[in-house]
């Protein structure tokens, strides 16, 4: 349980709201656990037909909590992080996932959208996957899904340069369904979720399964997780996390990989 994720079920929609706006909804281990629990609950309860992700404040999420990343680096290798549980839950989800995204969506805040079936962006949304800036590698099967979605060179640009793309670019590249005024974001996403609730659940489930290659995603997740865990303890990553804490640019010039 964490106060930073609010879980609410109404009319067949399970809404998972990130509530840590003062930290731009950066995701701690406990928050990942709550999100993973939510996805598991949705799979197990027939009354839940759609899952809706949203975040309070001016950012959807700044991605993984960077202090938690540093802590994760010191945990035992076989202790699976809750983020991995959440990510596997996204890849396994059989029910529709809808996202309402405003402001910054960093790291997993963007890669999780590749697992969502409908994505609505506020006009101020900015999507970034700066894993390389942190000396890490892409996760959530995004090393497979992003190039498939937007093409290799755009995906490489997003991963290797780590610069955010704006909402209109994300729409043009096929990452989102619509860009809407920020004040309409929640109602648009909610309306779409409620339409999905009225569709035949079995048909939606099979449609989703036909469209997504679960085996390929699992294979890629395993590869990513193994390299990601190694990277977390690298000297490059230590420099990146320290630089964030000290609010300075990292300097990788003399750091061994
Ligand atoms: N982990 C931990 N804390 C974070 C965080 C993160 N990923 N992102 C933001 N925060 C915290 C900041 O440290 C700051 O805390 P403080 O007020 O106690 O100093 C607070 O949230 C506000 O962040 P700030 O950077 O001042 O907001 P901003 O509007 O200027 O910038 C971001 C927003 C998201 C662009 C910026 O915070 C950022 O780049 N965060 C890191 C994103 C990242 O690299 N995530 C990991 C991806 S793999």
246 Cα to the center of ligand 1, angstroms: 12
Beta carbons within 8 Å of 31's beta carbon, 6+ residues apart = 2, 4, 5, 18, 20, 65
**CA–CA dist 61, 110 (Å, integer):** 9
pLDDT of residue 144: 98
User: Which residues, in sequence order, are CB contacts of 14 under 8 Å at separation 6+?
Assistant: 7, 8, 38, 41, 42, 48, 50, 51, 52
Give yes or no for residue 64 CB within 6 A of ligand 1. Answer: yes
pTM for the whole structure = 0.96
Q: What is the 3 state secondary structure string of 80-131?
A: CCHHHHHHHHHHHCCCCEEEEECCEEECHHHHHHHHCCEEEEECCCEEECCC
CA distance 166 to 250: 24
Pick from 60, 36, 39: which is nearest to 50 by CA?
39
Q: Judge if the beta carbon of residue 143 lies within 6 A of ligand 1.
A: no
Q: What is the 239 CA–ligand 1 centroid distance (Å)? A: 17
Q: What is the pLDDT of residue 7?
A: 98
- 3-class DSSP assignment, residue 26: coil
Cα separation, 186 vs 15, in Å, equals 11
- What pLDDT does residue 80 have? 62
Shortest-distance Cα residue to atom 1 of ligand 1? 65
42 contacts 51 by C-beta, under 8 angstroms? yes
Residue of 62, 239, 250 with the most ligand 1 atoms within 8 Å of its CB, for mutation? 62
Q: Is 110 in the pocket of ligand 1 (CB under 6 A)?
A: no
Is the beta carbon of 24 within 6 A of some atom in ligand 1? yes
pLDDT in tens, the chain (257 residues): 799 999 999 999 999 999 999 999 999 999 999 999 999 999 999 999 999 999 999 999 999 999 888 777 666 543 468 999 999 999 999 999 999 999 999 999 999 999 999 999 999 999 999 999 999 999 999 999 999 999 999 999 999 999 999 999 999 999 999 999 999 999 999 999 999 999 999 999 999 999 999 999 999 999 999 999 999 999 999 999 999 999 999 999 988 87
The number of beta carbons lying within 10 Å of the beta carbon of residue 117 is 20
Q: Tell me, what's the pLDDT at 175? A: 98
**Nearest CA owner, ligand 1 atom 2:** 65
d(CA 10, CA 149): 32
User: Would the CB of 81 count as within 6 Å of ligand 1?
Assistant: no
**pLDDT number for residue 77:** 44
């Amino acid at each position: 349980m964490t106060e930073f994720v609010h879980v609410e079920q109404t009319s067949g929609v399970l809404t998972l709201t990130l509530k840590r706006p003062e930290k731009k909804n950066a995701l701690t281990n406990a928050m990942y656990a709550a999100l993973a629990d939510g996805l598991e609950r949705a799979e197990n309860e027939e009354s839940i037909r759609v899952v809706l992700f949203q975040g309070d404040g001016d950012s959807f999420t700044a991605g993984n909590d960077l202090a938690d990343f540093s802590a994760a680096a010191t945990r035992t290798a076989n202790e699976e992080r809750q983020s991995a549980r959440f990510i596997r839950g996204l890849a396994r989800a059989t029910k529709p996932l809808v996202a309402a995204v405003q402001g910054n969506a960093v790291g997993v805040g963007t890669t999780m959208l590749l697992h969502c079936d409908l994505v609505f962006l506020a006009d101020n949304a900015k999507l970034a996957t700066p894993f390389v800036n942190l000396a890490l590698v892409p996760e959530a099967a995004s090393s497979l899904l992003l190039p498939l979605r937007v093409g290799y060179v755009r995906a490489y640009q997003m991963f290797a340069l780590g610069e955010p793309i704006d909402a209109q670019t994300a729409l043009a590249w096929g990452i989102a369904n619509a860009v809407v005024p920020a004040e309409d974001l929640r109602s648009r996403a909610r309306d779409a979720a409620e339409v999905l609730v009225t569709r035949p659940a079995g048909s939606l489930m099979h449609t989703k399964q036909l469209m997504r290659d679960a085996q390929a995603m699992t294979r890629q997740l395993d590869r990513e997780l193994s390299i990601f865990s190694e990277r977390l303890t690298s000297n490059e990553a230590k420099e990146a996390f320290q630089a964030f804490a000290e609010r300075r640019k990292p300097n990788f010039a003399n750091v061994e990989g």
